[in-house]
Structure 1
């Protein structure tokens, strides 16, 4: 039975295989470029531990020193001090259990079973960490199955392990590098997600597509919390480096500013999730009418996010970001954002959904301004006024002048109700 010719626009199987292989190679090269210094540090720790153990104790093959140093350093650039100490304790306890078992019950099949079971159970009793239990069990297993060299005494492997652990801790403290690097890497991924979400929402507003907005909502819901958690872990690791590492102390102030940046940025990401949902509802109510002004506002917000990301690389300087945020906030009034491209006002339901969207965008602007280090009171000054004032038959927001800044009263409940209910149109008065 013939399956018919392969469509002309579909690549052949060898071509698809070659593309997949090329993609994996590019991804692998990217990982290598990103992590080569981390791998170099682990290799350095293992080799130095081997050399030092040989010089100090005269052991011919002090392989436990190298093993201990390598597994503690590992391939993680953001390992916390607690994790390093946890791994160190796991290695030491495993070697001690293995040596004790080797001396008392010997080595063999059933002895391996007993040692690994006891090591695993003891590790679970002492600590909830999975890596602690794994290292305890593996080190005890290695002691049982590796033959001792002629010059190795019963406690020699314990000395090698102590040497490897000590070298690993010193390397971690002295060669951890710039603690801001791991924060910047996590922040870059975080802001890229925020950037992508705002671009997608701008596209949805420009085309009037609720489906595009819905896809953006699904994406940001799926990925945002993961990026936030990764940045939070990077902050914790950087804070420990800046506290305990001699090379990281001088960066302590920048590390704290990056920690503060996450607070406002996390709120902004949560707000974007709400904005995406509000935009889906708004575009659905207005029957997919394009809103270029709303799209321009979202792109201005995206430019501000890009400026914040660039400010991270320039010693956490957010001057340019605040200028971009001032432009973003200039859009944020219902009068500016709710008119369609044909200049048509939304209906009553569309007005309600639109105003809630505008208010949420204003909240996003506040969060981003606070992320740059501004206090809440100063951040609010960037927003255009929503002062509701009567002017003949019109009741609605009007631009704030310098004179009004000094005398504007706080918005009343009645004023907000008028704004949301769209009582500004004389034809809709009841």
Structure 2
């Protein structure tokens, strides 16, 4: 029976529209809402009750901004934010008092604020907050209003501290988002590889066009994967409740370059398969089978990272490694057709690269991953670890 193949775009639509995917988004959104609500309320209460500030709106605003930051650098950016708001508020009080009123006051305040901020830090966040703080003081809360002066600067600091404390005491999972992003990228790569294998077996230019369209739009997914891993590392460092996950967070970060390389190599293979199909050329059945097997292994790895427990990894990863070793040992020059064209050689080279990438995703070092490949040079950089007889077809 012929293998049922689903196009890359169709698979992406199925994944994005699945009930599980929607539930994950709802859970993540709900947790974020709880975090922000608790932080804003607590920051306001601390500033009002413990510091006796009448209208400490800078405290909850700063806490919300801290929790809204992404990319895993919230501690550094919280300090930048505190400095920016503090300097902006203080500078606004000073400038509004000494500068003449009128239409030129705001442009002058912004220009002076940005100039001062440029000497304090290169961070755009600091510059923006200094300018925004000065504008707020000049337009909404001019000097003399209740809660002005140093109180506003203290409120900004309180909000930053409460925001970071919320991350530490109400932490999200340091691994879940990163693993989900890895799973998504591997799922896309698997689907594209499946389309490539199908086209190499039965030429289908339209299927490859759709696959290339999908894979060309994956850079935001890669960026989200890297950002999620950084956030996970930050959470595991900041929250005592998540210190036990530090080892697994480091392991996840180590495989990210291999996941990105796998996606890039899959993109190159798909382009070359399209050229081969347009030229009307073909490849050997053995090479088609290798690409098809890589698609299946990548899909299985995607499923492994889609789970939250280590149980699946302990049982599935060793089997996937064994299958990748078999592919690496078989992906030698002998799989090329007798009258093989350039595109066939390129596709073979990409299967070897993807095999090494996936072994790295499974936890192997780069050197060991390359050594698992059948040698194509008389003087390979890494001595081959080819199993005797494994290159023969079963």
TM-score by length of 1: 0.70
* Cα RMSD, aligned residues only: 3.7
Residues 33-90 of structure 1, C-alpha deviations (whole Å, 9 max, x = no match): 5322223212221111111111122222221222222222226485532223222222
Counterparts of 1:193-232 in structure 2, within 5 Å, are 193-210=188-205, 212-217=207-212, 219-220=214-215, 222-232=216-226
Residues 310-337 of structure 1, C-alpha deviations (whole Å, 9 max, x = no match): 3333338264144235445646447996
The answer to whether structure 1 residue 74 and structure 2 residue 65 are counterparts is no
In structure 2, relative to structure 1, the CA distance for the partners of 1:362 and 1:207 (3 Å cut) is same
In structure 2, relative to structure 1, the CA distance for the partners of 1:271 and 1:152 (3 Å cut) is closer
Q: Which residue of 2 aligns with 1:166?
A: 161
- Structure 1: give runs of 5+ residues left out of the alignment: 1-22, 339-345, 389-399, 409-430
SS of 1:59 mapped into structure 2: coil
TM-score by length of 2: 0.76
- What is the CA–CA distance in structure 1 between the aligned matches of 2:356 and 2:22, rounded to whole Å? 40
The answer to whether structure 1 residue 88 and structure 2 residue 74 are counterparts is no
In structure 2, relative to structure 1, the CA distance for the partners of 1:188 and 1:133 (3 Å cut) is farther
Q: Is the 8 A contact 1:73 1:168 kept in 2?
A: yes
The answer to whether structure 1 residue 97 and structure 2 residue 91 are counterparts is yes
Q: Is the 8 A contact 2:66 2:74 kept in 1?
A: no
- What is the CA–CA distance in structure 2 between the aligned matches of 1:241 and 1:372, rounded to whole Å? 24
- What is the CA–CA distance in structure 2 between the aligned matches of 1:129 and 1:185, rounded to whole Å? 31
- The structure having more radius of gyration, on CA atoms, is 1
Q: Which deviates further from its counterpart, 79-88 or 360-369?
A: 79-88
* 1:162 Cα deviation from its structure 2 partner: 2.4
Residues 284-328 of structure 1, C-alpha deviations (whole Å, 9 max, x = no match): 45x255976655433322222222233333338264144235445
Residues 242-268 of structure 1, C-alpha deviations (whole Å, 9 max, x = no match): 233323321110011101111322222
* 1:376 Cα deviation from its structure 2 partner: 4.8
Q: Is the 8 A contact 2:88 2:133 kept in 1?
A: yes
Q: Is the 8 A contact 2:73 2:231 kept in 1?
A: yes
- What is the CA–CA distance in structure 2 between the aligned matches of 1:401 and 1:55, rounded to whole Å? 72
SS of 1:208 mapped into structure 2: coil
- What is the CA–CA distance in structure 2 between the aligned matches of 1:258 and 1:271, rounded to whole Å? 20
- What is the CA–CA distance in structure 1 between the aligned matches of 2:69 and 2:149, rounded to whole Å? 31
Q: Which residue of 1 aligns with 2:48?
A: 54
SS of 1:97 mapped into structure 2: helix
Q: Which residue of 2 aligns with 1:320?
A: 316
SS of 2:49 mapped into structure 1: helix
The answer to whether structure 1 residue 309 and structure 2 residue 302 are counterparts is yes
- Structure 2: give runs of 5+ residues left out of the alignment: 1-16, 379-385
Q: Is the 8 A contact 1:281 1:353 kept in 2?
A: yes
- What is the CA–CA distance in structure 1 between the aligned matches of 2:322 and 2:132, rounded to whole Å? 57
Q: Is the 8 A contact 1:64 1:164 kept in 2?
A: yes
Counterparts of 1:20-419 in structure 2, within 5 Å, are 33-74=27-68, 76=70, 78=72, 80-105=74-99, 109-147=103-141, 152=147, 154-210=149-205, 212-217=207-212, 219-220=214-215, 222-285=216-279, 287=280, 294-312=287-305, 313=307, 314-315=309-310, 317=313, 319-327=315-323, 330=326, 332-333=330-331, 346=337, 348-350=339-341, 352-376=342-366, 378-379=368-369, 402=388
Residues 7-56 of structure 1, C-alpha deviations (whole Å, 9 max, x = no match): xxxxxxxxxxxxxxxx9xxx999855532222321222111111111112
- What is the CA–CA distance in structure 1 between the aligned matches of 2:228 and 2:349, rounded to whole Å? 32
* 1:119 Cα deviation from its structure 2 partner: 1.8
Residues 372-427 of structure 1, C-alpha deviations (whole Å, 9 max, x = no match): 11235654676568899xxxxxxxxxxx774x69xx9xxxxxxxxxxxxxxxxxxx
* 1:139 Cα deviation from its structure 2 partner: 1.9
